[in-house]
Chain A
Amino acid sequence: MHLVQLLSAIALAAFCTTAVADEFGDPVAGEEVFRKCKSCHQLGEGAKHRIGPHLNGLFGRRAASHEDFRYSKALVRAGTGGLEWHADTLDAFLESPRRLASGTRMSFAGLKKAEDRLNLIAYLRSFSDSPANIPEADPTASPTDHDLDPAILALKGDPEYGEYLSSECTTCHQADGRNDGIPSIVLWPKEDFVLAMHAYKNKTRAHPVMQMMAGRLNAEEIAALAAYFSALEQ
């Protein structure tokens, strides 16, 4: 069964303009990469939820939308906030799951190599129902560039400025770490925080309020907030 789907996905990819053809991954190589996922996720005929949900029919689906699987609050929130699985969002998620959904239960560090992600996505793509019905952009779209400049991650912020900026966060996020309606932001690893804020800033992470808030913070200001928050937690 999935051989047919696989072939049609490849055919579709070949049919599309050659300019993007080399940005569409190799599903055969992707199957190799998928071995890392196998301990938690099933794929293909008869696949069931295990530690993670099964991954059939992933493309075009809203995040956290299997009714019979218990997702983390974070992923549910991302789903209701508009996160759908497409090549670009999967690429961002697979690179660093917690950047897209900070409290995801998926304890996977991420695939750092862009090529691995591309291949894996091509492989996953072949298990989505009737690939032809999914907007053509999905399998062929080139992943957006999520790679955060290491220089940005290395920036040392001014904690005093961060304290001032943080007063804007506590209007909504409860300082005592409560998590009702609005997620907690205490004890958030510094690197995840910086990645998440940049993901909101470039709108790969969905949420209108956060996109707006992060959108006007520059890299120094995000670093300042990170410096303040991590100093707090020591």
Chain B
Amino acid sequence: MTLNRRQFIGTTAAVAATLSAPIVKAQGKPRVVVVGGGAGGATAARYLAKDSKGAIDVTLIEPTRKYYTCFFSNLYLGGFKEIEDIGHTYGGLAAGGVNVVHDWAVGVDRDAKTVSLAGGGTVPYDKLILSPGIDFVEGAVEGWGLSAQNAMPHAYKAGSQSELLKAQLMAMPAGGTFAMVAPPNPFRCPPGPYERVSMVAHFLKQNNPTAKIIVADPKPKFSKMALFQEGWANHYEGMVDWIGEEFGGGNVSVDPDAMTVTIDGEETKVDVCNVIPAMKAGRIAELAGVTDGNWAPVNAADMSTKADADIYVLGDASSQGDMPKSGFSANSQAKVCANAVRGALTGSKVFPAKFSNTCWSLIAPNDGVKVGATYEATPEKIAKVDGFISQTGESADLRKATYEESEGWYTGITTDMLG
């Protein structure tokens, strides 16, 4: 059942009268709080503010003043982008009517329906949307912890970590070794580690052609595997050594002080070590009590959590079914969620959920590939409807067009998220 506008105003007035004065109160308008201004959260905040035309009070809580996209951060490593090309401010959202609060959400009181901030205040909500991205599972890679992330960066949240990894890559001695510890499923951006291998290989081929890359991977196979392996053989012959599950790629420990990686009992001294540990939902989802295991289960129709009908989880942090954890997916889910939340709060029409995803990856200059699918909401999950993937052996022209498409997509999605 959806509330119509009149009923809603009635309820809010009643609630406002019984509660002690909330800190943020905008003349009895329904209030949506969004935690996390990334691909999911920024999109949801922007669409809610834009489409409700001021009828909903939208607050976004995001600690960083500049969002560095993980998408295209590998292209930064490869030298195709500058770090500033992938940094975006929240000015467009603020101008679009979103109340942007730069702070951390540190707790959710589901009974009082408030979010508490690291800076001390609390913010009341009628609907709460969490899109906090990922955190790492502690102890996932033996020897690695957050205190080691300077010696062995993850660069799986973009920004300073990306810059650090790039600096280490540039400082590698001639003929040195770059190691990557790849994550187990499920994780953010399934082709991400392998696009990164490609971009690191491209950089090394230009600057340090005798260097080597070893990848320890707990998985037997990975996204777009045939495409990446074909590309590595064509462009970076002999440079990449991918050690999958079969050869003990999952049996790994690292020593950040000694800069060694031990794979299936064999210790190797390395010059750079990019550790991408197992992932889980951003911690605030767990603090809100909406997770089950590492992720937050949601209903496919509107992204509301199974645990609380007034809390929604978008993007990487959610467990929703068949969609990969990508920026495109998070953006797609955000639009479905915004439509449903607006309907619930203002009585506007709610349309059936439609989801889609396409992930482009760059293997070498002008050698782009893509994979994508469409999805629908079923009672159990977000279910795949149809999909496609680039083929091995495609023409150079098609690969170039695919890369150019990814550039267009990047401009499209960042504008769609942030205005």
Chain A residues near B (Cβ < 8 Å):
77, 79-82, 160-161, 163-165, 167-168, 170-176, 178, 180-182, 208-209, 211-213, 215-216
Contacts and interface: CB of A to CB of B under 8 A. Distances in A.
Interface residues of B, number: 37
Nearest to A208: B388
Contact of A175 (B331, B405, B415): B415
B408 A164 contact: no
A173 B412 contact: yes
B373 interface: yes
13 contacts: A80-B401, A160-B349, A161-B349, A167-B47, A168-B332, A168-B335, A171-B332, A171-B412, A172-B412, A176-B415, A181-B408, A212-B388, A215-B374
B356 interface: yes
Interface of B: 47, 51, 328, 331-332, 335, 339, 349, 351, 354, 356, 358, 370, 372-374, 376, 385-388, 395, 397-398, 400-401, 404-409, 411-413, 415-416
Contacts of B411: 174, 178, 180
Contacts of B370: 208-209
A174 B413 CA distance: 8
A24 B331 CA distance: 49
Contacts, number: 92
A163 B53 CA distance: 14
**Which 5 pairs show the lowest CB-CB distances between chains A and B?**
A181-B408, A182-B408, A181-B404, A208-B388, A80-B401
Given A80-B398, A181-B404, A209-B370, A171 B328 contact: yes
Contacts of A79: 397
A145 to B, nearest CB: 23
Nearest to B386: A212
Given A165-B354, A173-B408, 12 more contacts: A80-B397, A161-B351, A168-B354, A171-B331, A172-B405, A173-B412, A174-B411, A181-B404, A182-B408, A209-B358, A209-B388, A216-B385
Given A171-B412, A181-B408, A77 B401 contact: yes
A208 B372 contact: yes
Contacts of B407: 180-181
Nearest to B411: A174
Contact of B339 (A164, A174, A215): A164
A212 B372 contact: yes
A31 to B, nearest CB: 34
A170 B419 CA distance: 11
Which of A80, A165, A174 is most buried by chain B, counting CB atoms within 10 A of its CB?
A80
Nearest to B409: A172
Nearest to B388: A208
A182 B401 contact: no
A52 B127 CA distance: 58
B47 to A, nearest CB: 7
